[in-house]
Chain A
Amino acid sequence: MIRKNVADASEALAGVSDGMTLMLGGFGLCGIPENAITELVRLGVGGLTCISNNAGVDDFGLGLLLQERQVDHMISSYVGENDEFERQMLSGELKVTLTPQGTLAEKCRAAQAGIPAFFTPAGYGTEVAEGKETREFGGKMYVMEEAFQADFAFVKAWKGDEAGNLVFKGTARNFNPCMCGAARITVAEVEELLPAGSLDPNEIHIPGIFVQRIFQGTGYEKRIEQRTVRMR
């Protein structure tokens, strides 16, 4: 067995430096790598390009990095819930590349799978397709999109083992599996780090080969953005 476990977030983020491109899993605040984000703030690295479906909220998630002006470029599909983000974007301090959600996921998956580019119908005829190659297949038009190139991927899983195998929970799965192995180094943080052999190989979502470092996360806040309930 090849061991991937490291002591903590500090060890897991060794080698992260200014100007890097980072992938961060999560949808809204669901399934975000909370510990890695806290450590990125502590390290104070700047000039980052962040690939993440959303940009957090003002005081949580990626919003924490934005507050400290550590991010130069965000690549996201939806950025609606963050005032500081909007301010930085409209003032030009922050470059934002809005990307259709399925294209964002596939650009991760393509990087993971060693596919340099692919064609998608999403965005054809819109400003998203401007400057990109388009081609007709079977009478329909498609846009060529390229795989991401990233230095680190930070993902959050529910359970993991020392071999780096991962299991996700509920809709906290989202972009996390697509980002595993899609960057030079993938760092997984888990709620429960188990000895190898504890997880049923039949039920592993992401095999450890896609993960370089894994650590037991602490203090998960798991904030809910839109608490919607039925009254009893």
Chain B
Amino acid sequence: MLDKNGIAKRIAQEVQDGYYVNLGIGIPTLVANFVRDDISVEFQSENGVLGMGPFPWEGEEDPDLINAGKQTITTLPGASFFDSALSFSMIRGQHVDLTILGAMEVADNGDIANWKIPGKMVKGMGGAMDLVASAENIIVAMMHTNKAGQSKLLRECTLPLTGVQCVKKVVTNLAVLEITPAGFLLLERAPGVSVEDIRNATEGRLTIPDEVPEMAL
């Protein structure tokens, strides 16, 4: 079974040379730590920066330089700043190659819910609805089950939707799954996790091929 860093490490393998990538808050932010250093990748943050670098050294924080999670950041050579409308032109206009974000629920048709729990948590969608409605390639990073042990990979989402039929791939602590017209297709198992474990933790339709390799991390 993977921890959060393990999920990030596996997703980092999906990042290819020349990609512009938008990382959501939480596990997706960790992906930047594991991207191969022999490829060229630029990270976009929707509050208005392309070419985001690591966190600043202590004492070098700039209040005018943050990411979409409101964390202080730095920029790398080649970086640029822009306003919010232009930022979402990049996103809606499909100039960003890959979007990686977290979710509360994913349905086996690619629906995603990650912005609201009615009566409990209403923080807002931020840029998530724009991102999922537009991105060509959306990978969800999340735990396979919630804290109560219930599956987050469902036949249908129960929470208010963020977007419809948009998720392409899900990487969890247990597995890598692709969304197909027949539901989730199991591609890889996490180290030490059996196909049976994954079947038990998945409520949505699940196709299990004869051979399910273990992730190479």
- Chain A's closest residue to B52 (CB) is A171
Residues of B within 8 A of A102 (CB): 46, 84, 87-88, 91-92, 127, 129-130
| Bound-complex Cα distance A37 to B22 (A) | 32
Indicate if the CB atoms of B62 and A170 lie closer than 8 Å.
yes
From the candidates A29, A81, A121, A231, name the one contacting B133 in the complex (CB within 8 A): A121
Expressed in whole angstroms, the minimum distance between the Cβ of B137 and any Cβ of chain A is 15
- Chain B's closest residue to A220 (CB) is B63
A216 within 8 Å of B by Cβ?
A: no
Indicate if the CB atoms of A105 and B58 lie closer than 8 Å.
no
List A78-114 residues whose CB lies under 8 Å from chain B: 78-81, 86, 89-90, 96, 98, 100-106, 108-109
Interface-facing stretch out of A38-46, A62-70, A124-132, A195-203:
A124-132
Indicate if the CB atoms of B70 and A30 lie closer than 8 Å.
yes
Indicate if the CB atoms of B64 and A31 lie closer than 8 Å.
yes
| Bound-complex Cα distance A230 to B71 (A) | 12
Indicate if the CB atoms of A226 and B66 lie closer than 8 Å.
yes
Expressed in whole angstroms, the minimum distance between the Cβ of B171 and any Cβ of chain A is 24
| Bound-complex Cα distance A53 to B68 (A) | 11
| Interface 1/0 per residue, B178-209 and A, CB below 8 Å | 00000000000000000000000000000000
Residues of A within 8 A of B62 (CB): 170
A30-B63, A126-B163 in contact; A101/B88 too (CB < 8 A)? yes
Expressed in whole angstroms, the minimum distance between the Cβ of A57 and any Cβ of chain B is 10
Residues of B within 8 A of A108 (CB): 84-85
Residues of A within 8 A of B129 (CB): 100-103, 122-123, 126, 128
List A140-188 residues whose CB lies under 8 Å from chain B: 158, 168-178
Indicate if the CB atoms of A100 and B127 lie closer than 8 Å.
yes
Interface-facing stretch out of B5-13, B118-126, B138-146:
B118-126
Residues of B within 8 A of A232 (CB): 57-58
Expressed in whole angstroms, the minimum distance between the Cβ of A81 and any Cβ of chain B is 8
From the candidates A105, A120, A222, A231, name the one contacting B84 in the complex (CB within 8 A): A105
| Bound-complex Cα distance A228 to B72 (A) | 5
Residues of A within 8 A of B122 (CB): 79, 86, 89-90, 96, 98
Indicate if the CB atoms of B83 and A122 lie closer than 8 Å.
no
Please indicate which of the listed interface residues B48, B49, B54, B163 has the most CB atoms of chain A within 10 Å of its own CB: B48
Residues of A within 8 A of B45 (CB): 171
Indicate if the CB atoms of A126 and B162 lie closer than 8 Å.
yes
Residues of A within 8 A of B162 (CB): 126
| Bound-complex Cα distance A102 to B82 (A) | 13
Indicate if the CB atoms of A171 and B127 lie closer than 8 Å.
no
B2 within 8 Å of A by Cβ?
A: no
A17 within 8 Å of B by Cβ?
A: no
Q: Please name the 4 residue pairs, one residue from A and one from B, whose CB atoms are nearest each other, closest first.
A: A102-B88, A102-B130, A125-B164, A80-B123
Q: B residues touching A (Cβ–Cβ < 8 Å)?
A: 45-49, 54-73, 81-85, 87-88, 91-92, 111, 122-130, 133-134, 160-164
Could you list some 30 contacts between A and B, CB below 8 A? A27-B66, A77-B125, A78-B124, A86-B122, A100-B127, A101-B127, A102-B87, A121-B92, A125-B111, A125-B161, A126-B160, A128-B125, A168-B81, A171-B45, A171-B49, A171-B64, A171-B65, A171-B66, A171-B81, A172-B64, A173-B48, A174-B48, A174-B84, A175-B84, A176-B83, A177-B85, A205-B83, A226-B66, A229-B72, A230-B57
Q: A residues touching B (Cβ–Cβ < 8 Å)?
A: 27-31, 53, 76-81, 86, 89-90, 96, 98, 100-106, 108-109, 120-128, 158, 168-178, 205, 222-232
Given contacts A78-B123, A174-B83, 5 further A-B contacts (CB under 8 A): A30-B66, A100-B126, A126-B161, A168-B83, A228-B72
